[in-house]
Chain A
Amino acid sequence: MRIKEHPILGPLPVAKEVIIIVDGKKIKAYEGEMISTAIVASGIKTFRYTSKKKEPRGIFCAIGRCTDCVMEVNGRPNVRTCVTPVEDNMVINTQEGLGIWENWRGGG
């Protein structure tokens, strides 16, 4: 949920809208923001599933240190969504386990 009006920070700054595609669905995002911001704003909480027990994971530290928020971005797995900015037409998928090696090379 986006905080449209904040008592200290004021209104949301104006920014250019972009579209990202999350698990096949088109989601509105703003240029310059991190992927995780757009994901959380759209109400999604689960970013990936672990490789052994297939458990859901989401944001934990939000500053790029814990790697809990990783997703597949433009094919490339293990991308930290909390420190990666959105781009128009970016394709983002919920990551299953560690992804596939072929997607690690050259993608994203």
Chain B
Amino acid sequence: MKTELAIIGAGPAGLCAAIEAAKNGVDVTLIDENRTAGGQLFKQIHRFFGSEEHLAGIRGFEIGNMMLEDTQKYGVKVLLNTVVWGMFPDLKLGLSNGNMVSVIEARRIIVSTGALENSLSFPGWTLPNIMGAGAAQTMVNVNRVLPGNKVLIIGSGNVGLIVAYQLLQAGAEVIAVVEALPEVRGYQVHASKIVRMGIPIITSHTITRAEGDSCVRKAEIARIDDTFKVLKGSEMILDVDLICIAVGLRPLAELCWMAGMKFDYLPQLGGFVPLHNENMQSSIEGIYVAGDVAGIEEASSAMEEGKLAGIAAGISLGKIVKKQGIEIINKAKEGLRALRLGPYGDYRQESKEKIVHHYYAA
């Protein structure tokens, strides 16, 4: 099997890359291991922020649907239920759809495999109903089931705050959001919303253990000092039946490791991030990265990076006229800069600049 551009992962980055490239005549194969495309968009029932350009005011799953329609419109070949089990330095991909194993040869590849939830271990953490916050979000927003009724959320980043709110919407009682650092990590607007709904955000605290039998029943939280040491005597026991761990994401970049891509370690972007230049080209010629796999940000930046990578790949294939392509690329870059402004964006802008710098230095 051959294709001009293979895109791994049909989330927002992959979908945008596929659409931009296919619009311009590139033969695109978009591969996803799930039964449906859209990645994390389908769990997002809240309205997006940003400019009109960035589809502000539209709910995540609605954006997902729009993009899926576009892939049909532009003739993108979409392979669902298909795992990419190997990415090789000669731009071959190993595929498996459960029945057949095959190898596809691509002239260019975009890796947009997204991210993985971090976990936190503490005594009792393996008990049933202790799950990732993203998992709870999936159960509630996609599968329409509520796994528990008395919830404790660990971590006050955007994921923790948003999931707290969404569990409330689903009918659960959210006992608290616990945060290890002295300040709330996510956007103030999300934090204020849940505090108004009666969910306390307890900073400088961590979970010290969980107890239960066939399901978690109790959680112990305690205050910690600025060296993360537990302050004896500050322990509190909470009655819970669901604990959601929201302690960050990291790039899901195993395929990149496998193919021999160079990485850098940037905790601000989630940990090990594949090196790439300003056009999303990785250290392996012909392979690009876009979205959370290139550094944890959000859906809007994933979409812009996807667009960037799609056009860059198209130009390098000779399918997109350089002049026009560069115009679109510059627009995407402006969009990214806008998304990376302000107190919540500065550190991402800085980190992304570091990656590009290291790409050229390496």
| 8 Å CB interface, A42-86 against B | 45-47, 55-65, 82-83, 85
> Which chain A residue has the least Cβ–Cβ distance from B141?
A9
CB 8 Å contact bits of B117-139 with A (1 = contact, 0 = none) = 10100000011111110111011
Q: Mark B126-157, 1 if CB is under 8 A from A, else 0.
A: 11111110111011110111110100000000
The residue that B139 contacts in the complex, of A37, A46, A56, A85, with Cβ under 8 A, is: A37
Type the 1/0 row for A1-41, where 1 means its CB is closer than 8 Å to any CB of B.
11100111100100000000000000000000110110011
Contact of B131 among A8, A12, A58 (CB under 8 A): A58
The number of inter-chain residue pairs (CB within 8 angstroms) is 93
CA distance A12 to B134 in the complex (A): 21
Chain A binding surface SS class: loop
In the assembled complex, the Cα of A6 lies from the Cα of B169 at a distance in Å of: 7
Determine which of B35, B126, B138, B146 lies in contact with A57 in the assembled complex, contact meaning CB atoms within 8 Å: B126
CA distance in complex: A71, B74 (Å): 40
Complex CA gap A40/B148 in Å reads 9
Give A11's nearest chain B residue, CB to CB.
B144
- Are B144 and A59 in touch, CB under 8 angstroms? no
Known: A8-B169, A34-B143, A83-B34. Is A45-B135 also a contact (CB below 8 A)? no
- A selection of 29 A-B contacts at a CB cut-off of 8 Å is A1-B145, A1-B146, A1-B171, A2-B145, A3-B144, A6-B170, A8-B59, A9-B45, A9-B141, A33-B143, A37-B139, A37-B143, A37-B145, A40-B143, A41-B145, A56-B127, A56-B213, A58-B129, A58-B215, A59-B129, A59-B135, A59-B139, A60-B130, A61-B134, A62-B134, A62-B135, A62-B139, A63-B134, A65-B116
> What is the minimal beta-carbon distance from A97 to any residue of chain B, in angstroms?
15
In the complex, A49→B139 CA distance in Å? 22
> What chain A residues lie within 8 Å of B146 (beta carbons)?
1-3
- Determine the chain B residues whose CB is within 8 A of the CB of A46 once the complex forms: 128, 214-215
A63 contact set on B, CB distance < 8 A: 34, 134-135, 138
Interface residues of A (CB under 8 A from B): 1-3, 6-9, 12, 33-34, 36-37, 40-41, 45-47, 55-65, 82-83, 85
- On chain B, the residues within 8 Å of A45 by CB distance are 128-129, 147, 214-215
For A62, give the chain B residue with the smallest CB separation. Answer: B135
Q: Which residues of A contact B130 (CB under 8 A)?
A: 60
Q: Which 7 A-B pairs have the closest CB atoms?
A: A58-B128, A62-B135, A45-B215, A45-B128, A37-B143, A62-B138, A46-B214
Query: B214 — which chain A residues lie within 8 A by C-beta?
Result: 45-46, 56
Is the Cβ of A2 less than 8 Å from the Cβ of B144? yes
